[in-house]
Structure 1
Amino acid sequence: MDTMRDRFIATTSQLLDEDPRLALVLAEISRAGFDRAERAHPDRVVNVGIREQLLVGAGAGMALTGLRPIVHTFASFLVERPFEQVKLDFGHQGVGGVLVSAGASYDWPAGGFTHMSPGDVALLDTLDGWTVHVPGHPDEAEALLREAAAGDGRVYVRLSVQSNDRARPVGAGTGFTAVREGTGGVVIAVGPMLDNVLAATDGLDVTVLYAATVRPFDGAGLRRAVSGHRAADVVIVEPYLAGTSTAAANDALAELPHRVLGLGVGRAELRKYGEMDEHLAAHGLDARGLRERIGAFLHR
């Protein structure tokens, strides 16, 4: 199976052929995959070099001319390093675009902490008007990318090497999708966390909701999910900073007695970089770690 990043390259190359409104801005990352597209559309495929602030600024400048920019690099260089440009050049100027990241929280541990970005979604939460997609499969990444490219708003698509075994329905109006039904609590699995959550909750009387779009947060879907439960106990399992969506869940359930547990990447820096699976286990996001923490919370 191809990766989400492979699918992004293939899909974006095709979209550039089909839609003269689209432009692609790169900062060296993934450039080799866009060689053909760069030759075919030299005026709409721009590589700015290792200049991430310019990357975002150039994309916003293209948006001001009426183009629909797709801006791409690693998450740490797309959201964290040029955050001021994301805030001002897109948000303050009121223009739209599609930010597509690679690397996720720790997809390439050998790259070190500079290439890790567990705080990207939390950082975007400080800004208004961003839609955030966290696909869990290459097919989902393609569908969400096509939808984002066809729109006009500000969209962040967070790609990862980690992937679920199969794709789920995604896109406008989908909201949270019930993958498993139960009455003893609700577990929200975000993007590539779904397979581990399903393994961790096997045999537990819980509802498992799947979320590939986390902003806007589907508060109505969460309220529906807890309506038939013995208690409004909710666990959110996210592939980025733990607790990123707990405030949104608390707001959605403000009129109900409830408990919310946010599971995700911890704040402590793991300096022995290892492999991606080792990071999952260290943060308790493998099936075993999730089973222990979800079970302890729901049966407290």
Structure 2
Amino acid sequence: MVGDNGDDSSRSIAEALHAGLDWCFNKLAWLPVTLVIVLNGLGGLFAILAGFAPVKDRPVNVAIAVAAVVLAGILSALIERERRHSESVRTREGATAQLAVTEAVLPVLALVGKMASEPSNRRAVPFEKTVSHVLQSKAVLFPGVKDVRMVVYRVEIDGPRKRLVVEDSAGRRRDKPEPFVAGDGGRGDAAFEWLSGGKPKFVPNTAAEYDKAWKGSGRGYRTYISVPILVKDEAFGMLTVDAPTPGDLDETDVPLVEVLAGLLAVGYRLRSR
């Protein structure tokens, strides 16, 4: 048991050091290197002072000088380790982004191109395939997120009434997405007002969402991204991604969702002609 506690303590210290260095690199990138310089300087200073200090004080000065140099060496090693770790993370992130573009975006782009080459009366099938490929891309874009859901909404106009209805969806079938109805005095009006603005909406945690009118059903999700599907001022719908746990989605997911929404907008425009 003593050995286990010692291992746990060592791991805790290592994790704390790693977390501290992560924070330094993210928030205070200058601090670790500066500390190394300061420690080396202190080591040199106390080494010099040891030569001038009384004999009885020399061991203390030498000890301080050695400790400073050793700490500088340890910190330098940790900085190098963190640098290599960061480079490894960036490499993995780059590979993931390349995979997302290759497997998620390029097939959709090819289908939109096929739609453009077809006469208007033969665009329905490639359009359906376009929507299907967009929804299937969730497996590539969010591989580690359990119960993530993507929904394609389209604008449906029936006389004076406007609604955002579900074109298709993928993931978490037990929570059926509901339409947004303009003129309801709540979430429908908020959705259509947002849609005309053309900007994506990312909510990290619905519990902290201050726009009460915008809130959806909230069933099965606590974080979401919504992106308008529009060409210039013409809104065709919206693409949403939602997930059960805050942190499942982040700001880095928004650009690719925007790309897919843009391709869907072109698809809707081609289908409507």
| TM-score bucket of the superposed structures, by smaller chain | under 0.3
Query: Quick check: which one's helix share is greater?
Result: 2
Q: Higher strand proportion, which one?
A: 1
Larger Rg: 2
